[in-house]
Chains A and B, each alone.
Chain A
Amino acid sequence: MTDQNDTIENKFKTFLRTKIPGARELTLTNFTRMTEGFSYETYLVDAQWTEDNNIVSQGFAIRMVPEAGVVEPYDIEAHYKILKVVEDTPVPAPKPYWLVMDSHILGRPFFVMEKVEGEVPIPFGFKNHPIFKDPAKRLKMARNLIQVLADYQSIDWRKCREFLPVPQEETDPARMEIERWERNIEKFKIFPQPFLKEVNIWLKRNMPRTPFFTLTHGDFRVGNFIWRDDRIVAFLDWEMPGIGDPMMDLAWICWKIFRLDDPNLMCMLIEREELYRIYEELTGIQVDEERIFYWEVFANYKAASIFISGVRAFSDGKNRDVRLISLQESIHYTCLKELTELLNF
């Protein structure tokens, strides 16, 4: 365990005592910083205490805003509140417990949610995963992924209008997304970005019309859920929720970065036509391939913006996670290359 982990663990223990006043003999074990995910700092810990002569065990996940990172600006309140919204729906997600905006507790704002046991399959190297090698299980995972998306998109977005920006016009979902990621490129770029300027203008000139809005997740894919007993038991990484175009999350599943090992399998799980067919069957929403294409172009632009923010956070010394540099080395230029192909450079 590192000294930094030790400090956070002790501070968390003190915090937990205030949240569970009846707890006696509180102990923490298995305090670990997670490697999966690059946006928030995530720690897992198992707690045990005695309450009314009963021994209580509970696992917690702590998600803490980094000093600087890839998805600026970090809106931890929206992150927490969207978990609250999905709590009473069929969408599987960790149960959120406490949101703490006071930076004095752990050093930065954080929230605590349920620790969910299971595996987080990631798209990188997924071809070696037993599920990939079994077409039936692969399809089962794909269908479950689409079902979760369908359940999420069926939630009335009006429940979130108090904490998420609401699009007014049909082109607003695209405009709002472009503006967010464009702002980050302009704010955090270390070098001029003529390539992204060219793509930015294309995106602005080709904004699709979204006939109706749904909730959006912003990073809906393999790698962002916990899999246990042949099903998704918790969907993760709710840090970019929005109200927008349902095709955006569907296109994200199709993003080429998640199918580099087998370009025909979306998210390394399912062929595009089959994905569309199941999506239409489960949602009743007709897939619009032109919008999907647009959002696939956008996915690469957004990713480039994310990596630029990450590199800047590292360069400024505000986030010393070296993996932010790995992201640029492994994915950033692959995204740009994909853009040259999609837009016929």
Chain B
Amino acid sequence: MQLFIDQLLKGIIYSLDQVILPGLSSPYLRAQAIAISSSLRNLATRLASLDQVLGYQNHSLKSIFQSLEKIIDSSPELSNDKTSMGLKEKIEGQWAKIYDTKQLLADENYDLKLLLEEIIGSLWEIEDRIAIQSLRELHGQIRQFLKQEVETELSLLTPPDMAQVSKG
């Protein structure tokens, strides 16, 4: 392609906003055009920072999983607990994965979040049975990560005007 993607998107957005939208009279079609323009704008922002975001998230998630491994290893109760050991096995499985696709960061991010989903599913249940302060703190760290993830997503978004999107 003979131009940068951000320049391409900028041109399409301009055309939508300045050429197409003023010529549309149907509220439904106007609402669609406004939504497309807004989505392209957000896509441009996202493309510019996606690798950085994914890299940071992957690093944070790996750190959480390493902490969980350490907690399990250092606790005789957890080391003898079937669910905890199941989680440890899954984490070890994750470390063994090799990413050689073109979307390395995105693929790894997907797997890490899938693993986090599984860990959360078990963590509450383990905490009910085995009261360990460090485990509770790790749960807090996970919540902190989830909160940061949301804040990062919000920082990458310029919300469309929903009044316009709803009314056209």
CB of A322 within 8 A of CB of B32, answer yes
Name, among A321, A326, A337, A340, the residue most crowded by chain B CB atoms within 10 Å (CB to CB).
A326
* Residue pair B39, A326 in contact (C-beta under 8 Å): yes
Chain B at the A interface: mostly helix, strand, loop or mixed? helix
Which residues of A have CB within 8 Å of B53?
none
A122 CA / B52 CA spacing, docked (Å): 37
For the side of the interface on A, what is the size category?
Answer: 20 to 34
Contacts of B39 in A (CB 8 A): 322, 325-326, 329
Question: A34 CA to B166 CA in the complex, in Å?
Answer: 9
CB of A74, distance to nearest CB on chain B (Å): 20
Interface residues of A in 321-342 (CB under 8 A from B): 321-323, 325-326, 329-331, 333-334, 336-337, 340
Tell me the A296-341 residues at the B interface (CB within 8 Å): 321-323, 325-326, 329-331, 333-334, 336-337, 340
CA distance A326 to B36 in the complex (A): 8
Q: Is B120 an interface residue (CB 8 A)?
A: yes
Contact B162 A331 (CB under 8 A): yes
The verdict on B114 contacting chain A, using a C-beta distance below 8 Å, is yes
When the two chains form their complex, are residues A122 and B146 in contact, meaning their CB atoms are under 8 A apart? no
How would residues 106 to 122 of chain B score, 1 for a CB under 8 Å from any chain A CB and 0 otherwise?
A: 00001001101100110
A322 close to B36 (CB less than 8 A)? yes
Known contacts A331-B159, A345-B144, then 13 further A-B pairs from the complex at CB < 8 Å, ordered by chain A residue: A1-B26, A2-B26, A35-B27, A198-B142, A201-B124, A205-B124, A326-B165, A329-B39, A329-B157, A330-B160, A337-B151, A340-B143, A340-B150
B-to-A contact residues, CB < 8 Å: 26-29, 31-32, 34-36, 38-39, 42, 110, 113-114, 116-117, 120-121, 124, 142-144, 146-147, 149-151, 153-154, 157-163, 165-168
